[in-house]
Amino acid sequence: MTTTTTHPTIADVARQAGVSTATVSRVINKSGNVTADTIARVQAAIAALDYAPHSGARILASRRARTIGLITPTISDLFFTDLLRGIEQTVYEHDYTLLVHATHGRPYDNIIPTLPLNHHNTDGLIIFTNSVDDARLQKLHERHFPLVLLHRSPPAGTDIPCVTFENKDGAYRMTAHLIACGYRRIAFLAGPAENEDAQWREQGYREALVAHVLAVDPALIVPGDFNAGVAETAVIHLLQSQPDIQAIFAADDESARGALAAIRQSGRRVPQDIALAGFDDSLLSQYLHPPLTTVRAPIEAAGRAAAAQLIQLIHTGHADPLTLLPTELVIRESCGWRERNP
């Protein structure tokens, strides 16, 4: 009982304009030579019929989609907004169209290995984090389908270009900042184990400690999940087991938010009793009390870079294997300064 729809085709336009379908196709695609007069007639016919070319048929016939796709695990994230802004901006500047598909962790059809966005309807794909698994990435890449990875490194053995932040560097500098502020017992509230951003951030924390001749105490590294609730619980326990910690560096701002709640529950103050730092500079961070000191991640720039790389890849067959975007320390009020002796 599906509703049916009737739309004019290129043949209707051709008839109305008194030309052949080939000519209509030429004016639509601005290809080949057509008389100004003929162009006008065809355009008039198109307008009169409100004709729109069938994209499926075009892709089928031309083998190009002039569209790029974005596959993401979820669209429901605060930073997604910025990412998308960057991607869209670049895509449209290049006169492409963007289609977005969120997987939400749904598995692929195990019989028909199809993604809603693929070579059939896009000329290339931006793959955000682990929305598509290694095996499929491999297959797509083997077939020379243009791919750019965002916040995820390429499967072993492939050279799929990828774009990400200088996570390690940012975490290193924030940790160094905390040390410079006089803190020594600095805990790290980690992110999801499988998340590469989180891994690099933890690595930056560790290296900064070592570089400043401070011990890396495993008891001070607690697992988190880029989630405020999880962080809150974790920090409540941390505060009990390690009452002497002076600062907490959270792997992302959401976790920092959870940590803040936990610290407050424990009756301590930020930053007087304990310093707190985050990572991302998400929208919320400036509204926390106290405003959160954090590492700003250039999310919009990452979106722009990914789109630019992909379009370049589509056109030239080449892209930079790795694009690393610099991060920036944003010092607000949650870190304070430890007056006491180190």
Partner DNA sequence: CTGTTAGCGCGTTCAG
Partner DNA sequence: CTGAACGCGCTAACAG
Binding site for DNA (CB under 7 A): 7, 9-11, 18-26, 28-29, 31-35, 37-38, 51-54, 57-58, 60-62, 64
Residue 126 class from Cβ within 10 Å (0-12 exposed, 13-18 middle, 19+ buried)? Answer: buried
By CB under 8 A, tell whether 36 contacts its own copies: no
Which one, 175 or 255, has the nearer CB to its own copies?
Answer: 255
Other CB atoms within 10 A of residue 13 CB: 26
By CB under 8 A, tell whether 80 contacts its own copies: yes
* 214: partner contacted, choices its own copies, DNA, none (Cβ within 5-8 A by kind): none
Cα torsion angle, 242, 245, 251, 253, sign:
positive
- Which H or E element spans position 315? helix 299-316
> Which among 244, 340, 334, 247 is positioned nearest to 288, based on CA atoms?
334
**Among 20, 64, 269, 328, which residue interacts with its own copies (rule: CB under 8 A)?**
64
Per-residue x/- mask for its own copies, residues 185 to 224, rule CB under 8 A?
A: ----------------------------------------
Say how many CA atoms lie within 13 Å of 318 toward its Cβ: 1
Classify each residue of 314-335 as buried b or exposed e, where b means 16 or more C-beta atoms within 10 Å of its C-beta: beeeebeeebbbebeebebebb
Least distance between DNA and beta carbon 57 (Å): 3
CB 320 within 8 Å of CB 163: no
By CB under 8 A, tell whether 272 contacts its own copies: no
| Residues in 132-161 that interact with its own copies by CB under 8 A | 139, 143-146
Stretch that binds its own copies, among 156-164, 171-179, 266-274, 309-317 (CB under 8 A): 309-317
Structure tokens belonging to residue 36: 């100004």
- Which H or E element spans position 330? strand 328-330
* 256: partner contacted, choices DNA, its own copies, none (Cβ within 5-8 A by kind): none
Least distance between DNA and beta carbon 46 (Å): 10
Asked if omega into 218 is within 30° of 0 (cis), the reply is no
Least distance between its own copies and beta carbon 215 (Å): 36
Per-residue x/- mask for its own copies, residues 280 to 299, rule CB under 8 A?
A: ---xx--xxx----------
Asked if omega into 271 is within 30° of 0 (cis), the reply is yes
* 19: partner contacted, choices its own copies, DNA, none (Cβ within 5-8 A by kind): DNA
Which one, 3 or 35, has the nearer CB to DNA?
Answer: 35
By CB under 8 A, tell whether 53 contacts its own copies: yes
* 116: partner contacted, choices DNA, its own copies, none (Cβ within 5-8 A by kind): its own copies
Other CB atoms within 10 A of residue 168 CB: 21
Which one, 101 or 173, has the nearer CB to its own copies?
Answer: 101
Which one, 203 or 227, has the nearer CB to its own copies?
Answer: 227
Q: In Å, what is the CA distance from 312 to each residue of 88, 124, 183?
A: 15, 10, 46
Least distance between DNA and beta carbon 48 (Å): 15
Stretch that binds its own copies, among 53-61, 215-223, 228-236, 323-331 (CB under 8 A): 53-61
Residue 245 class from Cβ within 10 Å (0-12 exposed, 13-18 middle, 19+ buried)? Answer: buried
By CB under 8 A, tell whether 101 contacts its own copies: yes
Alpha carbon 113 to its chain's center? 24
Least distance between DNA and beta carbon 172 (Å): 49
